[in-house]
Amino acid sequence: MRYSFFASLALLLRTGTVLAKPVLHDIAIDKTLNARYGPVNIANRATFAVDLVRNNDYRRNGAAELAWTYAKYNKDPAGVHTNGNDRLSSGPIGAYNQTYDREYLSPVYMGEPGQLCWLDIDTGSGDLSDTPSFYLDGQEIYHPEKSRTSVDVANASWSITYGDGSYAGGGIYRDSVRIGNVTLHNATVESATAVSRSLTTDPVMSGILGLALNHSSTTYPQQPTLLDALRPVLEENLFAADLKYQDVGQYHFGYINQSSYTGDITWRTVLPHSGFWEFYIQSIHIGGDNVWRMHNWPVVADTGTTLLLLPTDLVELYWSFVPGAYMSDVYYGWVFPCNVTLPVLDFGFVDDHWNATIPGHYFNFQNVSDALCYGGIQDSMEPFGILGDAFLKALYMIFDMGHSRVGLASKKLLA
């Protein structure tokens, strides 16, 4: 199997992050969301928005991000090291980009009474799991024994093993899950009883809220996914990501926000039998070049990945236009002189003549030394690409469950 993900509503903890715990934000955030984004009920269906806010005080670690993505996609990340740069952050936390411009955490309440958990909305994943209490490092987690509506699913379990050898697993419950102003009853919640210590070192992030399209979950026997629960609730059977570069973003559930994009939406059919938000990009152009390259490149839209990962030939092509760029064994990835202006990346679709531009500075991920920077475009080491946040922040991205398609639209960029 090409991918290895969680696949319903997931709480999977990131590796190696040390973060400031949100203090006194939970109640204030919830009331703000309720006031601003009350659902619009039409025939018992709803729309709602979930805020995302960036924490500006993170120290980034490109090699750690790349290693995490390889592990997530069940690829052995051997040789990837963090070069001593721990994931550190400080400062106030909103709602809430938590690690290196990657983890956009949102408040989700599970059980009755609601237990606050901070989740990363991840379209490349799908289950709901938490951290064992004996591995807690400040995380807000789900305690089924504290919920009056939790029901243990007999003879059911979940487990996953990643390409780096890390693992997680445990039991399954049915319980209420509240996201925005919508409560989903009898949702599948995975409670961890065993997990690698390396997956529990983030003291803020409770886990992942997975929104993969139709990927079978890590549960046995198979359980309903979060998208299964959302389908009868939403006014329109879709959600959209409006991620922003160093600014506030949102997810829109059940509707397309007309003010979030400009121009036309191009609709792309999801590849059959993928189970993920996978589609073809048909054309690519790099600033400084006068050639558009045509091909059907399969790509996965993954909001839970930070970097843009592309097949080797495209990565080498992009960095060939950057003077002084090279693949570093020290920093495990492509690096470039920080004083160089990165070229834009244009992409599009031949069949409807639609194209868009990703600004070059979106691919400047971090300083790794006084003179060198780590690139936001790295090698997927596969024939398919992974469209992470470095790419998605330049677009309004629509995930249409009802028609098994994705919509892409340009938008006004603030930076």
Ramachandran bin of 73, using left for φ above 0, alpha for ψ from -120 to 50, beta for the remaining angles: alpha
- Other beta carbons within 10 angstroms of residue 259's beta carbon come to 9
86 within some domain? yes
Domain boundary among 206, 233, 253: 253
Same domain flag for 328 and 217: no
d(CA 251, CA 51): 7
Position 22 pLDDT exceeds 50: no
Position 25 pLDDT exceeds 70: no
C-alpha distance from residue 313 to each of 157, 285, 349, 382 (Å) = 41, 13, 19, 10
Same domain flag for 375 and 336: yes
Domain boundary among 225, 253, 281: 253
Same domain flag for 247 and 264: no
Q: Please, what is the Cα angle at 306 between 301 and 311, to 5 degrees? A: 60
Position 300 pLDDT exceeds 50: yes
The two three-digit tokens of residue 1, written as one number: 């199997």
Q: Please name the residue that has the structure tokens 């961890």.
A: 192
d(CA 256, CA 235): 11
DSSP 8-state secondary structure symbol assigned to residue 54: B
Same domain flag for 121 and 210: yes
Same domain flag for 196 and 226: yes
Kind plus residue range of the DSSP H or E element containing 29: helix 26-36
* Residues 156-207: tens digit of each pLDDT: 888 876 655 667 788 899 999 999 889 999 998 888 777 766 555 555 566 7
368 within some domain? yes
Position 129 pLDDT exceeds 60: no
* Residues 243-276: tens digit of each pLDDT: 998 887 899 999 999 999 999 999 999 999 888 8
Position 39 pLDDT exceeds 90: no
The answer to whether 170 and 193 have CB atoms below 8 angstroms apart is yes
pLDDT given for residue 79 in this prediction: 55
Q: Which domain holds residue 65?
A: 17-253
388 within some domain? yes
Position 408 pLDDT exceeds 80: yes
Q: Which of 39-48, 146-155, 246-255 has the lowest mean pLDDT?
A: 39-48
Is residue 302 part of the annotated active site? The answer reads yes
pLDDT given for residue 132 in this prediction: 45
Catalytic residue among 51, 242, 302, 400: 302
Counted domains in the chain: 2
Identity of residue 69: T
- Mean pLDDT across the chain: 78
Same domain flag for 147 and 245: yes
Which residue would you say has higher pLDDT here, 12 or 151? 151
What is this structure's pTM? 0.82
Q: Please, what is the Cα angle at 17 between 11 and 23, to 5 degrees? A: 75
The two three-digit tokens of residue 239, written as one number: 């959600």
Per-residue pLDDT band at 151 (split at 50, 70, 90)? very high
8 within some domain? no
Top-confidence range, 103-117, 143-157, 334-348? 334-348
Same domain flag for 197 and 54: yes
Residue 413 DSSP SS3: coil
Evaluated on CA atoms 130, 132, 136, 141, the torsion sign reads positive
Same domain flag for 192 and 142: yes
Q: What is the mean pLDDT of the segment spanning 292-314?
A: 95
Same domain flag for 184 and 277: no
Same domain flag for 91 and 210: yes
Q: Which of 140-144, 240-244, 370-374 has the lowest mean pLDDT?
A: 140-144
Q: What is the mean pLDDT of the segment spanning 209-229?
A: 80
Same domain flag for 284 and 350: yes
Domain boundary among 253, 286, 306: 253
60 within some domain? yes
Catalytic residue among 51, 101, 120, 122: 122
pLDDT given for residue 361 in this prediction: 97
Evaluated on CA atoms 250, 354, 361, 390, the torsion sign reads positive
d(CA 216, CA 127): 9
CATH number of the domain at 64, please. Answer: 2.40.70.10
- 3-state DSSP of 114-128: CEEEEEEEECCCCCC
